[in-house]
A and B are shown apart, each in its own frame.
Chain A
Amino acid sequence: MIKLSELHLGILAALGGIVLLFASANFAPLPGQAYGAGTMPRLIGWCAILLGCFMVATSLKHLPEMAKPHLADWVRKPRLAFAALACLAVIVFYILFAETLGFLPTSFLGLLALMLVLRTKWPTAILASLATTLAVYYAFSRLLMVPLPRTEFLSFLG
């Protein structure tokens, strides 16, 4: 992950503001009024442009060092970068497979995989994944009546 300086953030804010102004240019005002759906986004856009200009102006004094983006320390360490990606992958895995597999296997597999990536020992990982999955399932599905995706072959668990 790139660490941005005040200069970069200022440029980003100003650019974001400009995009917002363009994107909200066609929002219609309320009938017979000068204000409507576009007023607020345009105000935010102008504020972002002003803020961006202010940030750029104040960081010009330290230009050489401000211009250089820095990489976060963890990006250079494959294990940590992999851990971050694994967290995101577990969420994506749940989104893609929970409806098909059901909550119980998806949650258990996702938890187990992530714990192992994060270097939890096998027995602890299996026990913790199983206990968490069952606790979450019963708390949300049975007590709070949240319709978590069901697994037909595990329907005996309730």
Chain B
Amino acid sequence: MLIFEQAAALVFDPYVLGVILASAIFGMLVGAIPGLTATMATALLVPMTFFMDPVPAIAAIVTATAMAIFAGDIPAALLRMPGTPSSAAYVDDAYKMTQSGRGDEALGAALVFSAIGGLFGSIVLMTLAPALAEVALRFSSEEYFWLVLLGLSCAVFVTPSSPTRGLISLLFGLFVATIGMENPSGEPRFSFGNLELMAGIQFIPAMIGLFAISEILRTVTATIPRQKIPRSDGHGIFKTQWKNLKKYPVQTVRGNITGTALGILPGAGADIAAWISYAISKRFSKTPEKFGTGHVEGLVEAGASNNSAVSGAWIPALVFGIPGDSITAIVIGVLYIKGINPGPTIFINDPQTVYAIFMVFILANLIMLPLGWLAIRGARPMLSIPPSTLMPMILIFCIVGAFAIANSTAGIVMMLIFGIIGFFMEENDIPIAPAILGMVLGPMLEQNFITSMIKADGDIFRFFERPIAGGLGVFTILIWTLPLVMLLLRRRKQARLAT
């Protein structure tokens, strides 16, 4: 009990509460700017945390991250530009809901189910951390290989256009991920002697280009006058969510569990959690045909999932010092700077700090509701600005965002190239999101594939020998083969009916 009191004293200090509030606003702003990610918010906060004690420093990162992940949904719903990659899975549904006058419901669902997901993940973090992290720690390269392949498969099959075009996009993303020296043998690939390319394609400028620049180009070349987006139906941000919660309780719980479980796995993180949850939601939905057309079901499940993954990622980070995602990788660095060594001993040597971090998680997800409401209200006027004025303004944000990653114009050049590629893809109904996922997960897929192949001496059946790997492998193969089997069965049935 004394530890809880000490932890509470650390958190409910006016200075720490002030830091939480300021970083919440900062996270909201960064998340709401298309292309600026939660990881970028964390990276930008690190220099400021140098001047803080451990608890406010970690509180700043936790709060900003949670807010940024939610805030990414705001431009996704209002402008079809996901603020963060984890919002990309359900961007079409959110945007189409806005276009049909249900923008408040879309953003309300994103806000409420993000908060629910974040709270669920925090509770799991507090109660089951050591046991759950132990399971993830037993994972080997085979499990990771199948898990990544499962995420990529979902990206292809959740695409609203044809799976073949989704696959083209994915292969493009995987190819982009091979550029540079980051590969098992450290050999420069497709870099043509260019130093910038040897370091690999910078992900954030590429993402800004593919999503934001292509959207700007699409807007300025729209032949049909931009449809005036109707005002919301006045049901309010929160009012419709009770109905959604009652209608989709299974989806909410499933999204929470999937997100937390995937967050725990190193490398999986919020982005892949959102994609897998969206795919699961579509797969088990009674109305899968409505997905991608402005349907809230996938948004509920994936929105809960990506925020619960943020909390889940902290479990292996705190208990074993293994980062669950890029954000917790930065956090581990900050903890070391502060003289705190993450790992099992942190629970013995510094329990009050650990419990203070748990409390910060709960606070951050609760504060998200009022601040998110304000952010949604504040963002709505964006819709009333004509595209001829708004698009140039977004363009300059994109340019500076791409520059800020490495303080180099190379980022802007990359953004420009990927913007043109993204526009070409959009014009030809090739979805962009699988390419993004391919770029993010490509290195992980390659590393685990090569490691597993070397371990198995080229025997592909060894990928199924471990029980969890076997289960994941069979599940992934089913995802690929089931649609083909169903198609063949349907054709046979049609042929039988014709004769």
Contact = CB atoms under 8 A, between A and B. Distances in A.
A binds B: yes
Interface of A: 1, 3-4, 6, 9-10, 13, 20, 23-24, 27-30, 33-37, 39-41, 44, 47-48, 51, 54-55, 72-74, 77, 80-81, 83-84, 86-88, 90-92, 94-95, 98-99, 103, 107, 110-111, 114-115, 118-120, 124-125, 128-129, 132-133, 136, 139-140, 144-148
Contacts of A47: 167, 171
A90 B449 CA distance: 42
A10 B168 CA distance: 9
B45 to A, nearest CB: 10
A4 B426 CA distance: 11
Interface string B272-300: 00000000000000000000000000000
Contacts of B175: 20, 41, 44
Given A9-B168, A128-B389, A133 B396 contact: yes
B364 interface: no
Q: Interface of chain A, helix or strand or loop or mixed?
A: helix
Interface stretch (B5-13, B120-128, B213-221): B213-221
A129 B396 CA distance: 10
Contact of A51 (B164, B220, B419, B446): B164
Contacts of A36: 183-185, 187, 450
Given A9-B168, A91-B412, A114-B395, A27 B389 contact: no
Contacts of A6: 162, 164
Interface in B439-476: 442, 445-446, 449-450, 453-454, 458
A120 B44 CA distance: 34
B388 A115 contact: yes
A147 B407 CA distance: 7
Contacts, number: 175
Given A39-B449, A118-B220, A88 B391 contact: no
Closest 5 CB pairs of A and B: A118-B388, A74-B221, A37-B187, A83-B220, A114-B392
B168 A13 contact: yes
Interface residues of B, number: 61
Given A77-B223, A88-B416, A27 B189 contact: yes
Contacts of B222: 74, 80
A111 B424 contact: no
Interface string B410-451: 001101100110011001101000000000001001100110
A81 B187 CA distance: 41
A80 B220 contact: yes
B399 interface: yes
B320 interface: no
